[in-house]
Amino acid sequence: MKIVHIVPGSGGTFYCQNCLRDNALVKAQRALGHDVVMVPLYLPMFADDPAVRGEAPVFYGAISLYLRQQIPFLRKAPRWLTRWLDAAVLLKWAARKAGSTRARGLEAMTLSMLRGEAGGQAEELDRLVEWLTQHEKPAVVHFSNALLLGLARRVKQALGASIVCSLQDEDTWIEALQPEVARRVWDAVAERSADVDRFISVSEYYAQKIRRLTKISGDCIQVIPLGIDLTGFAPAPAWPDPPVIGFLSRLSPALGLGVLVEAFLRLKQSPQWPSLKLRATGGQTGDDVAFISQLRRQLTAAGCAKSVEFLPEFDRPKRLEFLRSLSVLSVPVPAGEAFGSYLLEANATGVPVVQPNRGAYPEIIHATGGGILYDPSRAEALAEALASLLGNPDRARKLGEQGRGSVRERFGIGQMAREVARVYESLSSARKNY
């Protein structure tokens, strides 16, 4: 089957869960024998395997997209005038700058993209459709997230393909917008959902949240849990000594790194944990630089700077090495997330996780048995939960082993790819019979 995945790039500066999901899914679908093309938008892709990127150009280049939104006369400028702005070196530079992945301030852009053929980027949509028409004739076009649905109508009309859309963490972007705009964005997503044949949510929690916020029909949303490429994941031969707490995600306050540092300092105050260490990796954007500097000052003032490492490299080999160095992993996102690929990566390495009782975390930990939950409304709860595992290595190892078995049995990318392929096949069969 011919499939096109339309995905937003992150620029490769931080651990992008959606990027990892999309890249792993494309690779697994190719292994199943499908002809799959990945088409990036905005910025270059972050990929564990660069080979999956292919030769498609970056559409809706972030720099020219922003300038065309802010300076309307550029929307009609000849392509040669703005093409140089989409050069890979400039896009990678832009990805490192502050605001490159910040929702606040991009309210007008977000709404304009959802307006699609009626938005300020209509000319770029035409260019994308022209390229797809000339180079690809897919049976399915799979959009990475619902914020891209402004493209779906024109793509569907031009190609006659079935439209599939993944659902994962759109709420993180939308809820960071100005409140009056956020409601308009949810309404626009609901309106554009009419162009989608099937939504795929990574968790039941998130499917229910999307249904509540958009009123999208429950029959249109199918839950297929996230899967990861299990190649290379293996437990460490022994429990780390001294014990190590790990954090794997973008080094951002929004993802709970500050919360974890507070819990770490609380534990370090106890005579039970004089040698305890904290290791964090996952990259950053320009917006995170000042935050990390502030954390370093806080750790220095507490006399704990030498016990904490912020590791700059987070590609696949470095992540595997990092995970094997941990006793426990925690990414305490205050409001929770739609899933959390880091949970699967930690469990696949035999490392237990400690997460807030929010979002999809209860659903995922119940499914894997690879960790414990805590009440984030209590300031001391995370430190207590971490201590309950750090002080009981046998329990921690048992949870890690249970999680590892569950992930290998139920959360491999091969299983996810097969389930997604069945969605494609059912839509193609229905279209043929229509």
Q: Which residues pair with 329 in a beta bridge?
A: 246, 353
Q: What are the tens digits of pLDDT across the range 309-322?
A: 999 999 999 999 99
316 within 8 A of 341, measured Cβ to Cβ: no
pLDDT confidence of residue 308: 98
Mean pLDDT of the 350-375 span: 98
- Could you tell me which of 115, 60, 130, 116 has the C-alpha nearest to residue 91? 60
Mean pLDDT within 293-304:
97
Tokens of 379: 């300031």
CATH architecture classification, 244-410: 3-Layer(aba) Sandwich (3.40)
The pLDDT assigned to 56 comes to 77
Predicted pLDDT of residue 315 = 93
* Average confidence (pLDDT) over 376-382: 95
Q: Are 2-227+413-433 and 244-410 in the same CATH fold?
A: yes
Say yes or no to pLDDT of 84 above 80: no
Most confident option among 102-106, 364-368, 428-432? 364-368
- pLDDT-based confidence at residue 99 (cuts at 50, 70, 90): very low
Distance CA 431, CA 211 (A): 25
pLDDT score at 81: 52
Q: Which of 241, 271, 242, 245 is nearest to 386 (CA)?
A: 245
Q: How far is CA 37 from CA 29, 31, 121, 125, 141, in A?
A: 10, 13, 23, 18, 10
Give per-residue pLDDT as tens, 163-190.
999 999 999 999 999 999 999 999 999 9
How far is the C-alpha of 427 from the C-alpha of 196, rounded, in Å? 11
SS3 breakdown of the chain: % helix, strand, coil, rounded to 5?
55, 15, 30
Select the CATH number that applies to the domain covering 2-227+413-433 from these four: 3.40.50.300, 3.90.1200.10, 3.40.1500.10, 3.40.50.2000.
3.40.50.2000
Query: How far apart are the C-alpha atoms of 168 and 83, rounded to whole Å?
Result: 31
Mean pLDDT check: name the lowest of 43-57, 174-188, 224-238. 43-57
Per-residue confidence band for 13, with pLDDT thresholds at 50, 70 and 90: confident
pLDDT at 64 exceeding the cut of 70:
no
Of 132-141, 261-270, 291-300, 312-321, the one with minimum mean pLDDT is: 132-141
Amino acid 122: pLDDT: 85
Cα dihedral 208, 209, 210, 215 sign: positive
Q: Is 362 exposed, middle or buried (0-12, 13-18, 19+ CB in 10 A)?
A: middle
Confidence (pTM): 0.90
Confidence check: pLDDT of 77 > 60: no
**What pLDDT is attached to residue 50?**
64
The answer to whether residue 83 scores a pLDDT higher than 60 is: no
What mean pLDDT do residues 121-138 have?
88
pLDDT of residue 100: 45
pLDDT at 430: 74
Gap between the Cα atoms of 225 and 419, Å rounded: 10
* Closest residue by Cα to residue 14 from 246, 171, 249, 293: 249
d(CA 163, CA 169): 19
> Quick one: pLDDT band at residue 98, thresholds 50, 70, 90?
very low
Q: Per-domain residue ranges for the chain?
A: 2-227+413-433, 244-410
Q: What are phi and psi of 201, to 5 degrees?
A: -95, 145
Averaged pLDDT score across all residues of the chain: 89
